[in-house]
Structure 1
Amino acid sequence: MKTLFLLLTGLLLTGTVAGQRTATVSSAQSNWVSISKTPPVIAWKAPEAIRTTVTQAAVTVKACIQSADTVLTYQVLHNGRPAGGLQRGYKRVVCGQEITADLQLAPGTNELLIKATNSVGTTTSELRIITFLVEKSPTALQPAAQKRLALVLANSTYKRQALKNPVNDGRLMKTQLENLGFTVTYKENLPLQELENTISDFLGSLSGNNIGLVYYAGHGLMVNGDNYLQPVDADPARESDVRFKCYSMHQLIAGMEDANRNGTNLIFWDACRNNPYRSWRRGPDDRVYAPMHPATGTYIMYATRPGQTADDGDEQNGLFTSELVKHINKPNVDLYDLPDLIDQGLQERGYYQRPYHEGDLRGRFYFLRAN
């Protein structure tokens, strides 16, 4: 009996231990697989604190990306925009290699994020907020706040090819801009002389360091590389008549840059950009479009690309303006994001009229800024 008891006990113990060992190996293998097949892990090294306040504009941010799999790309985002572009990744590391980025902070709040991607997925880091305090001399004169000044021009009542929506668009833009803090000069259906006088008076109000905005809806022409506003009394029979009977975009840009030299100049053009006198496709040395090349501080957004027409639409407002007003009323929408947002909205409605822009500003611009 004693021998039988010992034999049974030994078999029971041996079976139990073997079963446990098998389960342990299986669990270890399962855990190892789950660890290796995960998106990257991002650990901040500088700044370590979530919120930091500095008095210098130049900072260097550092982070470590942990990934058992190959890191394909990584990117530092500064206030929602890429800083330094998309970087290609590197082979597997366990924080043996840092990523760094040198940034110039904007006055006030700066939000930083890092995104990293491997074959499993993408990880976004924790938010880091750096507040840049600009030191000011106590005796320095504080500059006056920038005024928001807008000129809205809308022409519909042409003798030939009258348009339905420009006046509706102009009145809508006037209301929206006033709600956004602009002092608006609104004019509709102007002949050339009144158009020239109106623009001249508006330029005189800019005073060198303000936010100046010109919005135009109506017939537009592109001749010899320049865009032209067409007054309601203009009906140029020949291409050579356009420069004398219409108002040049180059002239408008030059006037705004001279009058508002240290300010922000914005132009929104809801008009066609084609040449009705000749085919768009001409000889290789006969250019019908040349870039405006505005100085830094001037930004132009067109309803359509060079050589294309802008659709008046079948609704109360034109395609471009109906989408534009949706987005300028949303908080924290960057000016540079507007063309893509407008294009996306039009495509969702079944239209393919992609906006076009030229120029750049000295910083960011938001129609509506919310903390």
Structure 2
Amino acid sequence: MTRGLRTVWRAVLAVIAALVVAAPALAQGPKRVALVIGNGAYASAGALANTHNDANLVGGALKQAGFTTVTTRTDLSTQAFQKALREFQTQADGAEVAVIYYAGHGIEAKGVNWLIPIDATLSDERALPYEAIDTNLALEAVAGARVRILLLDACRDNPFGRTWKAGTRSVMRGLGRVEADDVLIVFAAAPGERAADGKGVNSPFAEAVARALPKAGVPVQLLGGVIRDDVMGATGQQQRPFVSASMSGQPFFLVGGEAQPAAPVQTSAPAAVGLDAELNSWKSAERLNTVAAYQAYLAQYPDGAYAVMAKAAITTLKGPRRRSAATR
């Protein structure tokens, strides 16, 4: 065999070897990763009965939705929590979708939301940066993915503040508003409000998330609204999840539709434009949060994706707000 032919054969074999190595990844489809955390066995705070069940339920729904890697962790200490986020950050780099779901205690202090590990003692507010997890770390963990989603079932009363000294009372009920670009964040309850633990083995929020994730034909841009609608219906309008979304108007589907939308064509452009217009109309109404704003949305989209929530918001604004007695 001549030197030229040997060179050609080496090149051919190299290509074949590369294809063999790449074949498993190609067969698996797009890289979709999720980290699911359920903290319940708190040493210095009230134990939460349903968080393990919630983590298992949501983890199963993510697998049903086609996620290639779902990592479930329960009862994480501060060090273990940080380690889990660091490891997930590596997994999320270059992923099509990265999701973090957290069930456990969570509080807001000085404008920062904190997720609480099970070994936290939090003798005072100054201990938060050392013993709790800033939600910005979770945002950084999903930053390398194309689509980033945080699902926070952590809007509970502060279990530590009762023992904190005077002058450290900046802690609020529940979690505060977060604004982040190119990410979907869904809180189990509105800012300053509390989330129900549920009368069964799962929280209403976890059940709604588990129903929404595998649902075909729901763009991620409307996923938070679907979850919110479900929770409000299940709790008789007593619990109102909060959705913070700053995402592209191009529809992206976890199940059904086009997972990786192709370049727009003439036949599909009107649908995309219509979806974007409705989403903008709903965001405007939600930002104003007035009866007139919600009525304007309903006049334009009487059967829209947020119609039920708009009607519920109007009812809430016109009457006294009710609160759930059973809270996490």
Task: Judge same fold: TM > 0.5, yes or no.
Answer: yes
If you compute each CA radius of gyration, which structure gives the higher value, 1 or 2? 1
RMSD of equivalent CA atoms: 2.5
CA distance in 1 between partners of 2:195 and 2:93 (Å): 33
CA 1:242–1:335 in 2, change beyond 3 Å: closer, same or farther?
same
CA distance in 2 between partners of 1:228 and 1:157 (Å): 17
CA distance in 1 between partners of 2:232 and 2:96 (Å): 35
Partner of 1:365: 252
| Counterpart residue type for residue 57 of structure 2 | L
Is the aligned partner of 1:237 residue 2:120? no
| Counterpart residue type for residue 131 of structure 2 | K
| Counterpart residue type for residue 255 of structure 2 | L
Partner of 1:153: 37
% identical aligned pairs? 28
| Counterpart residue type for residue 152 of structure 1 | V
| Counterpart residue type for residue 264 of structure 1 | V
Is the aligned partner of 1:215 residue 2:106? no
| Counterpart residue type for residue 253 of structure 2 | Y
Specify which of 324, 330, 337 is matched with residue 215 of structure 2.
Answer: 330
Specify which of 78, 81, 104 is matched with residue 192 of structure 1.
Answer: 78
- Do 1:222 and 1:273's aligned partners in 2 also have CA atoms closer than 8 Å? no
CA 1:334–1:348 in 2, change beyond 3 Å: closer, same or farther?
same
Partner of 2:65: 180
Partner of 1:65: none
Specify which of 108, 111, 130 is matched with residue 225 of structure 1.
Answer: 111
Is the aligned partner of 1:164 residue 2:42? no
Is the aligned partner of 1:267 residue 2:128? no
CA distance in 2 between partners of 1:254 and 1:342 (Å): 24
- Do 2:158 and 2:171's aligned partners in 1 also have CA atoms closer than 8 Å? no
Specify which of 89, 93, 101 is matched with residue 203 of structure 1.
Answer: 89
Q: Deviations over 1:84-109 (max 9, x none)?
A: xxxxxxxxxxxxxxxxxxxxxxxxxx
Structure number with greater CO (CA < 8 Å, separation at least 6) is: 2
CA distance in 1 between partners of 2:70 and 2:235 (Å): 33
Partner of 2:275: none
CA 1:207–1:243 in 2, change beyond 3 Å: closer, same or farther?
same
Structure 2: runs of 5 or more not aligned: 1-25, 163-169, 259-328
Partner of 1:103: none
| Counterpart residue type for residue 368 of structure 1 | V
| Counterpart residue type for residue 60 of structure 2 | T
CA distance in 1 between partners of 2:197 and 2:176 (Å): 25
| Counterpart residue type for residue 40 of structure 2 | S
Is the aligned partner of 1:349 residue 2:234? yes
SS at structure 1 position matched to 2:92: coil
Which structure shows the higher strand fraction? 1
**TM-score with structure 2 setting the length:** 0.61
CA distance in 1 between partners of 2:185 and 2:222 (Å): 13
- Measured after TM superposition, the shift of residue 166 of structure 1 is 0.7
SS at structure 2 position matched to 1:204: helix
Equivalenced residue count is 218
Partner of 1:310: 195
Structure 1: runs of 5 or more not aligned: 1-143, 279-285
Which structure shows the higher helix fraction? 2
| Counterpart residue type for residue 128 of structure 2 | V
CA distance in 1 between partners of 2:228 and 2:179 (Å): 23
Q: Deviations over 1:262-286 (max 9, x none)?
A: x1111100111655638xxxxxxx8
